[in-house]
Amino acid sequence: VIQEAFTALPKVSYDFVIVGGGTAGAVLANRLTENPRWNVLVLEAGPSNEGVLDSIVPNYSFNLQSTIYDWNYTSTPQPGLNNRRVAIPRGHILGGCSSINGMFYTRGSSDDYDRWAKVTGDDGWSWKKLLPYIMKNERWTTPTDRRNISGQYNHSVHGRNGKTFVSLYSVPEALDAKIMEASKELGGDFRHNIDTNSGDALGIGWLQVTVGNGERSSAATAYLAPEYLKRPNLHVLVKNRVTKVLQTTTNRGVPVVRTVQFSEGYTSTGAKYEVTAQKEVIMSAGSFGTPHVLQLSGIGDAKELRAVGIHPIADLPSVGKNLTDQPQFTLIWPLGMNETQTFTPTAEHQAQWLAEWRANRTGPLTGVGVNSIAWIRIPDSSPIWQNHSDPAAGRKTPHLELPFIGGGLYPLPGRIMGTNNVVAEPHSRGSISLNSKDPFDPPLIDMGILTHPYDLLALKEGISAIRKFLTASTFAEWNLSLAYPFKDDSTDEEIEQAIRNVAASNVHPVGTAAMSPKGADYGVVDPDLRVKKVAGLRIVDASVMPFITCSHTQAAVYAIAERASDMIAASWR
């Protein structure tokens, strides 16, 4: 069961305490309690996901932002964005970001994982070794519209017995046929790739989503489903925020950190508790929550910690550094056609769609708004390579992600088409640090967006690629003209300024507690995810990625958490 008061929990000793019941935390909670002898406590700051309609209806996911289900973080002024502050949503709910995300299921390329193996010296992080864990997470299912999907994915690279539902997009749009016609006509970078989740991520593929039976499949619905919450050894406490991890003892001069301090409710005035894990504390508070709690606890850059009045227990300067996210913005192309040839949803449509969803779990509300994505490389001949190194992990790795947003209702197109422009592997890096030693004071989050000149040039390469794609003859009848964030005839300078005025985070922050080889004098965790310079503490979430995957990040987090569960279980067997 899910509890909101620590006093309501049975008085047992916990083998493992998991900080954060998010994407990774829910996986660990499930897998570690497969062993009935191990008691596990999950501490989640946000409320339960149960019954939250916006988290169940796939098309409602945007409603969750700027609510109680969001941490509502705002970045520091971003020099690369003309000093704007940008919003960075994060799930504040059981299931974490997987309960509020866009449900895109994209794994990245095999190169991405092979690079992790190379930079950590642990072959277990390679694509080949992780693929079984990727598949262990996945429960492939038919899309909600039950169309014939042969030729739209590669059966052999998908798992059928996992926990998280993965399916193909479910709301056909007029745009779909056009994308595939253009792909056929242009080929090359725009060739059709039957499954961009196969390790070779390049080309245009159909979108796979974490949706099953018309509902969002999150880490909470999948790994903390009622059948698992029934386990007597699994204890889930929501609406309780961890404020610190504390040194429990010292073992041969090494601080042992197995005690967790937490505060009930959403404000600093709640009751305070401490709990000590018999085996390990696992930090799964995400790319912001994990480094924030570590720093509050004295684990981080000793100089920076002392400056805010925190006594360091482990000097790990990499905590909170290497913050990596993909810069992105959307181009809007109105269709030069009249209203009868296009489709604009009304309030009446919305009501009908909700009624259909409630009755059958089918219809337009099962869609996430995107059906296909182009993953492409910047040409080898581009002048960009004269001044910049290639940030991609290898030749099967795209530099750019270009999702297509149609918005119509088949067979009519929407009044506008959107093309998202994302730098899949950026060069810019940001950081997260303490504003003060008050755990309820939000951290300073510097996303570093567009601070490296490569990233802006790469976005401009993305614009060229989109324009090239739209020259395909199939688009002629739509009379597309660019309306936002600049015009077809804008100058180079106007385009650069427009990008800096609208670009934002792709909401995929990673890397703030990154893995490095055992014994390295940089990085935060060893390849087995144990925090360096202390004992009793591991990190399992998006923060451990040394490099971002060229993708949306949930599939990689699930893979990390599935492998971590095995590693942790093995070390206590």
Binding site per annotation, positions for FAD:
242
Can you tell me which of 554, 559, 562, 564 binds ligand FAD, judged by CB under 6 A?
554
Check binding of 538 to ligand FAD (CB under 6 A).
Answer: no
Minimum distance, C-beta of residue 262 to ligand FAD, in the bound complex (Å): 7
Check binding of 104 to ligand FAD (CB under 6 A).
Answer: yes
Classify 312 as helix, strand or coil. Answer: coil
Beta carbon nearer to ligand FAD, 305 or 470:
305
**Cβ–Cβ contacts within 10 Å for residue 498, how many?**
17
Minimum distance, C-beta of residue 42 to ligand FAD, in the bound complex (Å): 9
Site for ligand FAD in 139-198 (CB under 6 A): none
Say how far apart CA 301 and CA 249 lie, in whole Å. Answer: 22
- Using DSSP, how many helices (H) and how many strands (E) does the chain show? 14, 25
Beta carbon nearer to ligand FAD, 287 or 421:
287
Stretch that binds ligand FAD, among 137-145, 223-231, 322-330, 554-562 (CB under 6 A): 554-562
Check binding of 428 to ligand FAD (CB under 6 A).
Answer: no
Beta carbon nearer to ligand FAD, 106 or 431:
106
Minimum distance, C-beta of residue 465 to ligand FAD, in the bound complex (Å): 21
Check binding of 96 to ligand FAD (CB under 6 A).
Answer: yes
Range 352-364 burial, b when 16+ CB lie within 10 A, else e: ebbebbeeebbbb
Stretch that binds ligand FAD, among 9-17, 42-50, 195-203, 486-494 (CB under 6 A): 42-50
Q: Which residues face 375 on adjacent strands? A: 203, 401
Say how far apart CA 530 and CA 116 lie, in whole Å. Answer: 16
Marked catalytic residue, from 92, 158, 452, 552: 552
Nearest to 45 by CA among 270, 258, 225: 270
Known active-site residue 349 = no
Which tokens go with 277?
């894990």
Can you tell me which of 29, 45, 204, 376 binds ligand FAD, judged by CB under 6 A?
45
Check binding of 241 to ligand FAD (CB under 6 A).
Answer: yes
Known active-site residue 508 = yes
Site for ligand FAD in 377-416 (CB under 6 A): none
Minimal CB distance to ligand FAD: which residue? 22
Total residues interacting with ligand FAD, rule: CB under 6 A: 40
Which helix (H) or strand (E) is 432 found in, with range? strand 431-433
Minimum distance, C-beta of residue 213 to ligand FAD, in the bound complex (Å): 19
Check binding of 21 to ligand FAD (CB under 6 A).
Answer: yes
Check binding of 97 to ligand FAD (CB under 6 A).
Answer: yes
Beta carbon nearer to ligand FAD, 195 or 461:
195
Please write down the HEC assignment for all residues of 333-391.
EECCCCHHHCECCCHHHHHHHHHHHHHHCCCHHHCCCEEEEEEECCCCCCCHHHHCCCC
Stretch that binds ligand FAD, among 15-23, 179-187, 372-380, 410-418 (CB under 6 A): 15-23
Beta carbon nearer to ligand FAD, 76 or 324:
324
Beta carbon nearer to ligand FAD, 285 or 316:
285
Contacts of 296 (CB under 8 A, 6+ apart): 243, 244, 310, 434, 437, 439
**Cβ–Cβ contacts within 10 Å for residue 128, how many?**
13
Stretch that binds ligand FAD, among 43-51, 231-239, 266-274, 467-475 (CB under 6 A): 43-51
Nearest to 321 by CA among 296, 298, 297, 301: 301
Check binding of 112 to ligand FAD (CB under 6 A).
Answer: no
Strands (E), 221-313: 234-237, 240-251, 254-264, 272-283, 299-300
Which tokens go with 164?
């998280």
Nearest to 94 by CA among 239, 266, 232, 210: 239
Beta carbon nearer to ligand FAD, 171 or 457:
171
Say how far apart CA 137 and CA 427 lie, in whole Å. Answer: 30
DSSP state letters, 43-64: E-SS---TT-HHHHSGGGGGGG
Check binding of 92 to ligand FAD (CB under 6 A).
Answer: yes
Going residue by residue from 284 to 323, which x/- string records binding to ligand FAD, judged by CB under 6 A? xxxx-x---x------------------------------
Can you tell me which of 14, 16, 17, 22 binds ligand FAD, judged by CB under 6 A?
22
Check binding of 448 to ligand FAD (CB under 6 A).
Answer: no
Check binding of 101 to ligand FAD (CB under 6 A).
Answer: yes
DSSP state letters, 516-556: --TT-SS-SB-TT-BBTTSBSEEE-SGGG-SS--SS-SHHH
Sequence ranges of the binding site: 242
Can you tell me which of 17, 507, 513, 525 binds ligand FAD, judged by CB under 6 A?
507
Beta carbon nearer to ligand FAD, 101 or 451:
101
The end-to-end CA distance of the chain, in Å, is 26
Please give the C-alpha separations between residue 278 and each of 38, 275, 298, in angstroms, as whole numbers.
10, 10, 21
Nearest to 345 by CA among 100, 173, 181: 173
Which helix (H) or strand (E) is 498 found in, with range? helix 492-502
Check binding of 328 to ligand FAD (CB under 6 A).
Answer: no
Site for ligand FAD in 267-286 (CB under 6 A): 284-286
Range 14-42 burial, b when 16+ CB lie within 10 A, else e: bbbbbbbbbbbbbbbbbbbbeeeebbbbb
Say how far apart CA 530 and CA 287 lie, in whole Å. Answer: 16
Minimum distance, C-beta of residue 5 to ligand FAD, in the bound complex (Å): 15
Contact residues for ligand FAD, defined by CB under 6 A:
19-25, 43-46, 89-92, 96-98, 100-104, 241-242, 284-287, 289, 293, 507-508, 541-542, 552-555, 557
Q: Any idea which residues carry the catalytic annotation? A: 508, 552
